[in-house]
Amino acid sequence: MLVNVHRVVIVGGGFGGFYATKALRRAEAEVTLIDRRNFHLFQPLLYQVATGSLSPGEIAAPLRALLRDQKNARVLLGAAVGLDTSGKRLILDGGEIRYDTLIVATGARNFYFGHDAWESEAPGLKSIEDAMRIRGRIFYAFEAAERETDAKLRRAWLTFVIVGAGPTGVELAGALAEIARDTLRKDFRSIHTAESRILLIEGGPRLLSAFPDDLSAAAERSLTRLGIEVHKNARVSGVDRDGVTIEVQEGQQRIEARTFVWAAGVAAADFAGIVAKATGVKQDRMGRMMVNPDLTLPGHPEIFVVGDAANLEWHGHPLPGVAPVAMQQGRYAARAIKERLAGREPKAFRYLDKGNLAVIGRAAGVADFGRVRFHGWPAWLLWLTVHLTYVAQFRNRVLVFVRWGFQYLTFDRGSRIIPEREQEWEQKIDGQ
């Protein structure tokens, strides 16, 4: 290895950090990618793990295997727990590492707007474990309903509440409707799964607020057709083990339910707070750091922040927390480092909006490309193509395609294991 080669340390192996690492492939630099987990996660398909369509292994690829052939990169399993900016040292759990340039790509976590106690009842969907938890609760609910003899409790077990109607909430609601109406239809003897109640609770005046009005309306029609009850302008004011309380225009409403999913908000992961404290940089109310136009921190040109950990104003709004933003920012940071190593000053980051896609259950979706926008099955087909193309980078395309093909034809979902842990959780509820 060269002496005094430029050391780039990247924290986080999500879309931002992983694509930054890859883009440094030909840089005269020694790259270390640090993540608390040993895999890169294709988060846009996490809801498919939560609803039993895919296995965790199909959307998670070992970082090490992905970067096997990149000789200037190494991967370390570890958590970043501190930062010494003057010594340029990143503190790990059990160790430390020196950097010349640091890229912070630690992403987001679930955010409950000050109601952290709701997390145990209404898990969010950010990690593989979250997805397995939600999957377990969904499929356990039908099992519990089948056993339950009290009609009111049975009804509660068959009521599902999804909070937040962004892409994740909409996709989850659509998949859940398909599970209840098709997948499980003939599996039970005492209950009619198709009579399940699925509620989608949205605080704002419309679904998919990142999309134009007409597509929001189209998505709402698709969901309603699937039998999903959509509540707009509805704020959740309480979540407990027996149900949720929502505030609507007409006043307060109580919904008896047993299964809740939180898709209403995320905040920057905790490491952003450590960096903000060490550098004195400002955070927005979701914990994201206010970055310079070149994604560095004010006063710290050696620290880049990319993806969900950063707040960059773009045409008057912060960029959204989606995979394309993180990927473009990760690649930009890599390019900027290479420019600097070549003695040039990098230009500011520019975001290229390639459009917006969401699916709603089976063969329906919405697509927004500025002037061009459409919905229905063409949007769904496009979504399928785009996602298969990206997943391909992680080598599971054939498998995912085979599974989706089977599922489309048979309405079946192969991955319906209820994890032991969730079962214990549910039984604890029952026992109380």
What is the set of active-site residues?
171
> Count of H helices and E strands in the chain?
13, 27
- 422 touching a copy of itself, by CB under 8 A: no
- 74 touching a copy of itself, by CB under 8 A: yes
The beta-strand segments (E) located in 213-355 are 229-231, 235-240, 243-248, 251-256, 259-262, 266-268, 289-290, 296-297, 300-305, 310-311, 313-314, 317-318
d(CA 89, CA 96): 7
- 82 touching a copy of itself, by CB under 8 A: no
- Decide whether 146 or 302 has the Cβ nearer to a copy of itself: 146
CB of 416 to a copy of itself, least distance (A): 5
Q: Are 56 and 184 contacting, i.e. CB atoms less than 8 angstroms apart?
A: no
- 345 touching a copy of itself, by CB under 8 A: no
d(CA 285, CA 77): 30
Encoded one letter per residue, x for contact with a copy of itself by CB under 8 A and - for no contact, window 124-163 reads ---xxx---------xx--xx-xx----------------
Instruction: For residue 394, list its beta bridge partners.
Output: none
Using the structure block, give the residue that is written with the tokens 């990690």.
127
The single-letter code of the amino acid at 222 is S
d(CA 76, CA 28): 20
- Decide whether 50 or 366 has the Cβ nearer to a copy of itself: 50
- β-strand 313-314 against 80-84: which pairing, if any? unpaired
Residues 6+ apart with CB under 8 A from 350: none
CB of 116 to a copy of itself, least distance (A): 19
Encoded one letter per residue, x for contact with a copy of itself by CB under 8 A and - for no contact, window 28-67 reads --------xxxx---------------xxxx-xxx-xx--
Binding residue for a copy of itself, selected from 152, 189, 317, 371, defined by CB under 8 A:
189
- Decide whether 121 or 426 has the Cβ nearer to a copy of itself: 426
Binding residue for a copy of itself, selected from 28, 84, 116, 187, defined by CB under 8 A:
187
- 412 touching a copy of itself, by CB under 8 A: yes
- Residues of the shown chain interacting with a copy of itself in the complex, contacts defined by CB under 8 A: 36-39, 55-58, 60-62, 64-65, 68-69, 74, 76-78, 93-95, 127-129, 139-140, 143-144, 146-147, 184, 186-190, 395-396, 398-399, 402-403, 406, 412, 414-420, 423, 427, 430
